[in-house]
Amino acid sequence: KHVAQWRNTLKTHAMPKLGTLPVQAIDTGLVLAVLEPIWSTTTETATRLRGRIEKILDWAKVRGYRSGDNPAVWGGHLQNLLAAPKKIAKVEHHPALPYADIGRFMKALRAAPGDGARALELAILCGSRSGEVRGATWSEFDLDAMVWTIPAGRMKAEREHRVPLSGAAAALLATLPRSPDSDLLFPARTGAPLSDMTLTAAVRRLHAADLKAGGAGFFDPKQNKPVTVHGFRSTFRDWIGEQTSYPRNVAEMALAHAIGDKVEEAYARGELLEKRTALMNDWARFCEGKPPVLNVVQIPEQSKAAA
């Protein structure tokens, strides 16, 4: 799908103007001729197209097919000629389930059969992206240490990410069969990872079944749309911010987000694994409708008398 998107955007928008030219002849004016007609109408497509042209021209330079600066680069160049995407494009958030409804959703999810349902359950418990779960292999899991280590090559930020496993996540893993032909947790019949649509279909089935049973379904009330797989990361983040006292950096690290600017990131080298372990266990308990386990410090009787 990703390969097809690359080819289709280039074929539709770039090739009519650039396709017959040697790469050395492509300059800023030509790049703008490709981008400007769609920059304000289909901004997301235009920004992705710009990045793809930049990567192709970078490759061409390294291979010796062109020289000089890259006319498709954004920072310090096209940013001075085109409006910032955030100023002209409305940000569309993934529809997310209110955290108050996560217990009801998880109860329905755990009763649903199929690999898609189990993969979605693991994604929710770990606050992970769909692709991280669908591509997960058994060799990435240390069940003795209760840690899932996702290699940099499978992460959006291209940095290794360690996920502390809650008791619920470990219990789920213990129920999964292991294929003798694949190291994948969730191999498709072809041996490849499950498709993203498999998890999406699981969400849609639960939504439709709840409506059919007379329930309210699983909607994002702000957008009035059924929830999406990626939206559960927002559910997790909203719960942390509104229902817990975990610091922002713990929450952002749990979601594998960058923390602050480059300077702050350079100094924040710790993984906060112990705090994130407590967070993931509290989240798992909340998903089951249970209160979090609080670290209560007992005050000695003598201290109480003195107070």
pLDDT in tens, 190-210: 889 999 999 999 999 999 999
pLDDT tens, position by position, 209-228: 999 999 999 999 998 999 99
Q: In sequence order, what are the beta bridge partners of 137?
A: 184
The pLDDT tens digits of the residues spanning 247-262 come to 999 999 999 987 654 5
pLDDT value, residue 11: 94
Q: Are 133 and 180 in contact (CB under 8 A)?
A: no
Q: Which distant-in-sequence residues (6+ apart) come within 8 Å of 239 by Cβ?
A: 99, 102, 283, 286
| pLDDT value of position 263 | 41
Percentage above 70 pLDDT, the chain: 89
Asked whether residue 273 carries a pLDDT value surpassing 50, the answer given is: yes
Q: Which two tokens stand for residue 76?
A: 């310090």
What residues contact residue 267 under an 8 Å CB cut-off, 6+ apart?
A: none
pLDDT recorded at residue 57:
96
Query: pLDDT tens-digit profile of 158-179?
Result: 899 999 999 999 999 999 999 8
- Rounded Cα distance between 128 and 244, Å, is 19
pTM beyond cutoff 0.75: no
pLDDT of amino acid 170 = 97
Residue 13, CA distances (Å) to 23, 45, 52, 71, 126 in order:
16, 10, 12, 16, 39
Contact status, residue 52 vs residue 15, Cβ threshold 8 Å = no
Work out the average pLDDT over 140-151: 96
List the structure tokens of 268. 């924040």
How confident is the model at residue 267, as a pLDDT? 38
Confidence of residue 264 (pLDDT cuts 50, 70, 90): very low
Indicate the pLDDT class of residue 290, thresholds 50, 70 and 90: confident
State the pLDDT confidence band at 268, using cuts at 50, 70 and 90: very low
Burial of residue 267 (number of CB atoms within 10 Å: 0-12, 13-18, 19+)? exposed
- pLDDT, mean over the chain: 89
* Of 136, 105, 94, residue with least CA distance to 119: 136
DSSP-derived 3-state class of residue 164: strand
Q: How confident is the model at residue 101 (pLDDT cuts 50, 70, 90)?
A: very high
Residue 166 CA to residue 283 CA, distance in Å, equals 9
CA distance 147 to 155: 16
- pLDDT greater than 80 at residue 296: no
